[in-house]
Structure 1
């Protein structure tokens, strides 16, 4: 009985509740109740789609990671705009990125982060989840791109998931 009343995905519930409060017109009793209902109901309805709980070991590092990603998106947006407006031709490249991550959620977050950053797109992942194919709009040196992704994104995800 208590298992049905619990929150099967507490982080998802927290995000849903916070998003509802942010989108509602001010905080009121009704918006708090509706936010709690949605934060409980949606994870209950989608529980079958979550094969295992996310294995966050150091979840408190996620806000810092998100700030780094937002900063990189901002900087990359200006870099891509500058590249498009300049007469210089870009050097597009497909790069095989060796993954150290092994948790499926961590790999998905990394691939999504790469795709969200302007100028790069995660194109494919190998069948054994050991290699990520990335398309970079302007990459003169593949190793620089690999090192930057590892340092800024994969290393913090490794710390969060392992």
Structure 2
């Protein structure tokens, strides 16, 4: 997989050197073009993990950016308005993540979004305790974590 990524980067730099335009959009276009070329040339091989994971990483980046912006707006709105809309609470989120790296990445992603903070992991690594500033519905909160961050993260890591 890393060999495909390095080939993708190398072809991107070849594209940029050939066009002579060193702007971000040209790098992005070169990366996408080289990704497509590598994908088409490797259709007959069984090594397609890179071509499945890279789009998931890109979509995860946009998903996380959306969640980050949404949480920032919610917290900022609560700060600038005279009334507090907070309904804090601590939730036990059951984990499908099994390894230490999966649990650590999930906990850090949760803590990076304003309004949520990962507090602890149970000793058997089956539950993550999360503090939420805006907890109106525990089941919906758990579902959002499980179907959002955890599901997408595990698709990339497994």
TM superposition score category, shorter chain reference: 0.5 to 0.7
1:82: which partner in 2? Answer: 77
Alpha-carbon shift at residue 88 of structure 1 (Å): 3.2
Equivalent position SS for 1:96? strand
Give the distance between the partners of 2:117 and 2:136, measured in 1 at CA.
16
TM-score where L is the length of structure 2 = 0.63
| Match status 1:134 vs 2:130 | yes
Runs of 4+ in 1 over 4 A off after TM superposition: none
Among residues 41, 57, 66, which one is paired with 1:62 in the alignment?
57
Q: Structure 1: 5+ residue runs without aligned partners?
A: 1-9, 18-26, 28-55
Give the distance between the partners of 1:70 and 1:106, measured in 2 at CA.
19
Q: Structure 2: 5+ residue runs without aligned partners?
A: 10-21, 23-49
TM-score where L is the length of structure 1 = 0.62
Alpha-carbon shift at residue 95 of structure 1 (Å): 0.5
1:1-162 aligned within 5 A:
10=2, 59-60=53-54, 61-86=56-81, 87-162=83-158
Q: Larger Rg: 1 or 2?
A: 2
Alpha-carbon shift at residue 97 of structure 1 (Å): 0.4
Query: Deviation per CA, 1:47-75, whole angstroms, max 9, x where unpaired?
Result: xxxxxxxxx9x532122112211111111
Structure number with the bigger relative contact order (C-alpha 8 A, sep ≥ 6) is: 1
Q: Give the root-mean-square deviation of aligned CA atoms.
A: 2.7
